Amino acid sequence: MRAVVQRVSHASVTVDGEVVGAIDGPGLLALVGVTHEDTEETARRLAGKLWTVRMLEDERSCSDIGAPLLVVSQFTLYGDARKGRRPTWQAAAPGPVAEPLVDAVVKALRDLGAHVETGVFGAQMSVALTNEGPFTVLLEV
């Protein structure tokens, strides 16, 4: 699994003109991609990393201060454009495999005590955010 994680002061996801998930205050936006070899254990490890990674002000984590997370599925994180001009998506897991694993990340975060908002898997989403820092990290587990 791969996640692009951004420290935010606000982030939201809109689908068909309706906000479906939003966080305010210091928190993290995690764009999550799934590949073919990922499992529920991989999802739990990513959730643990997201909950404890020290990306917030004063090197604190979401678990330290109870900061919220917005988790958005993004298969394009496994796009490969090294050859030609058109990315391939071969490394991205198909929806029936990826959706339950993104859900598993969210469930594991909530089991750890996190407040988690989400997008809508497979939907055309508009993601708005205020990246603080800017501070963006790529996590892979």
Choosing from 39, 52, 76, 130, the catalytic residue is: 76
pTM assigned to the model: 0.96
CA distances from 140 to 12, 83, 85, 124 (A): 23, 23, 25, 24
Choosing from 14, 35, 75, 118, the catalytic residue is: 75
Please indicate whether residue 75 is annotated as part of the active site: yes
* pLDDT single digits (tens) 33-67: 999 999 999 999 999 999 999 999 999 999 999 99
**C-alpha triplet 119, 35, 40: angle, nearest 5°:** 75
Distance, CA of 40 to CA of 42 (rounded, Å): 5
* pLDDT single digits (tens) 100-135: 999 999 999 999 999 999 999 999 999 999 999 999
Choosing from 14, 35, 42, 74, the catalytic residue is: 74
